[in-house]
Structure 1
């Protein structure tokens, strides 16, 4: 059992619119200007994705060009983002900021009236409310260590669920609903059937996590194809609330010890956020991250490319150069 505890802790160390000829004309010019401005590659990628949404709407819905848009046209576009694409206020705010950049870069003035009016009427918030933080690998390691050092009878199972959440970037419900028939215990491949979007997808885990999983499942009372991987002592499916409580309690304990900062807002979903940020930091293409995490819209994934954690890391990297 101690061997399993040691292995659980980490070792140091919506579719994108098709480009039309008209759209491409504006995209090429915008990218040329922004590249000359020295804009970072990741920023360029996210800006272009959103700009395509705007240009597609202008061309197909309004049958216009960006340079002859009027106030009423911009209002139609943002109503479209709100009612049809169902984007959050914070995401709409990003579109607003992007269009300010786009029209300034293109040296066009027809967005100015809408921009001034929107600021005056406070249509778009200057700040974004964030409900919880993305966990870092260092913080995660402290949480797992705290769990395996505890006295709970389910400490190995609980820590393993949390580590698998990190590896896979899954939602908690997706992991606890895994059954034997969904898992390839040799390759570490998992088929997720009970997903939020009702679309089956495949995820994987690290070799270390897989080793622990293969040892852990030997202690399960039931191991038929239809049985759940993570079971109670009675062999039943575990409750989401239990894992959330375990995670929350150990984060609280680590805050009291001063190991995790008290202002960090960490919940189990922070593991999914942290994994998304980690993937993007390691250079995984944003469309791959979208598919792996099972986001219905690229807009959700784009959120992480502008997360505070990524900005903080960038500032630390810049500080080293000073």
Structure 2
């Protein structure tokens, strides 16, 4: 890593409280731009560039079939980097000050249906041992709390309060939120903890969700697990923990929950992030509208 990027990494970790994966993505994007400068602009330093070099990098990325969404993410990383350089007085003008993001097609996330969720709980064969109960609990927690994959993986035993029927979740930027638990989820947690106590080796004793070897589960493991179980009940192309989070929000809204409450449960900073889930509720809204409006009698 170039020495001038290290302070930026420290800033992201210590001041912005970004997750390791987010920090890694930011640093990788800035380093990719430096490599581009080395190859095409006589090793121009990051501090010396102007917007023309950024614009030419964008052209190269597009020519290499990098999607507009990915290009926007890379440029967002650069914007954060140059804001940091400006803040620390290493530059006097931000070269990306007037940059406008590329237009991207809005992707409508398709949630699992309520029937698909019912089927995944009722028709999958979960073994009555540690792994079977743990797998069911992972799906249960995603669907009944709406937590993110990283939040799930980092849950500790101390985060769960079965007396108050809540879990404490550490979200983005280390922001804490409390989410209520359903009785069925609490019963499953208790059953899982009973099996967990019989594991031969537990290396990470504080973590809630463990592998059979007693270690914290990985993000790829959780993704594969969700994909595998939902492949038995759904024909949807994307079957991931995020689709389960999306289903949680959509089903709450479809059944009468207000947007602000869903926002708090999801841990969103603003309503605009939560409003994407209202698109999936449009069919339900149309149905209610048709049934309720006096002019349709």
Task: Please classify the TM superposition score into its range, dividing by the shorter chain length.
Answer: 0.5 to 0.7
**Native 8 Å contact 2:130 2:195 kept in 1:** no
Which residues in structure 2 correspond to 1:60-75 (within 5 Å)? Answer: none
**Native 8 Å contact 2:127 2:133 kept in 1:** no
2:192 aligned counterpart, secondary structure: helix
Cα distance in 2 for partners of 1:157, 1:198 equals 26
Partner of 1:230: 209
Partner of 2:284: 313
Which residues in structure 2 correspond to 1:143-162 (within 5 Å)? Answer: 143-149=120-126, 154-162=131-139
Instruction: State TM-score, norm by structure 1.
Output: 0.52
For the pair 1:212 / 2:188, whether they are aligned, the reply is yes
Which residues in structure 2 correspond to 1:250-265 (within 5 Å)? Answer: 250-254=229-233, 260=234, 262-263=235-236, 265=238
1:2-27 C-alpha deviation (Å, 9 max, x unpaired): xxxxxxxxxxxxxxxxxxxxxxxxxx
**Native 8 Å contact 1:172 1:268 kept in 2:** yes
Partner of 2:141: 164
Deviates more, 1:147-156 or 1:197-206: 147-156
What stretches of structure 2 of length at least 5 have no aligned partner?
Answer: 1-71, 77-101
For the pair 1:286 / 2:245, whether they are aligned, the reply is no
1:148 aligned counterpart, secondary structure: coil
Cα distance in 2 for partners of 1:264, 1:281 equals 22
What stretches of structure 1 of length at least 5 have no aligned partner?
Answer: 1-81, 87-122, 255-259
TM-superposed deviation, 1:294: 0.5
1:65-116 C-alpha deviation (Å, 9 max, x unpaired): xxxxxxxxxxxxxxxxx9xxx8xxxxxxxxxxxxxxxxxxxxxxxxxxxxxx
Partner of 1:128: 106
For the pair 1:200 / 2:179, whether they are aligned, the reply is no
Partner of 1:108: none
Partner of 1:244: 223
Say if 1:298 and 1:318 are closer, same or farther in 2 by CA, change over 3 A: closer
1:202 aligned counterpart, secondary structure: strand
**Native 8 Å contact 1:148 1:159 kept in 2:** no
TM-superposed deviation, 1:280: 2.1
Instruction: State TM-score, norm by structure 2.
Output: 0.56
Cα distance in 2 for partners of 1:184, 1:160 equals 16
1:154 aligned counterpart, secondary structure: helix
Say if 1:197 and 1:210 are closer, same or farther in 2 by CA, change over 3 A: same
1:139 aligned counterpart, secondary structure: helix
1:266 aligned counterpart, secondary structure: coil
Partner of 1:179: 156
Partner of 2:275: 302
Say if 1:273 and 1:243 are closer, same or farther in 2 by CA, change over 3 A: same
How many residue pairs were aligned? Answer: 192
Cα distance in 1 for partners of 2:229, 2:259 equals 32
1:133 aligned counterpart, secondary structure: coil
Compute the RMSD of aligned alpha carbons.
3.2
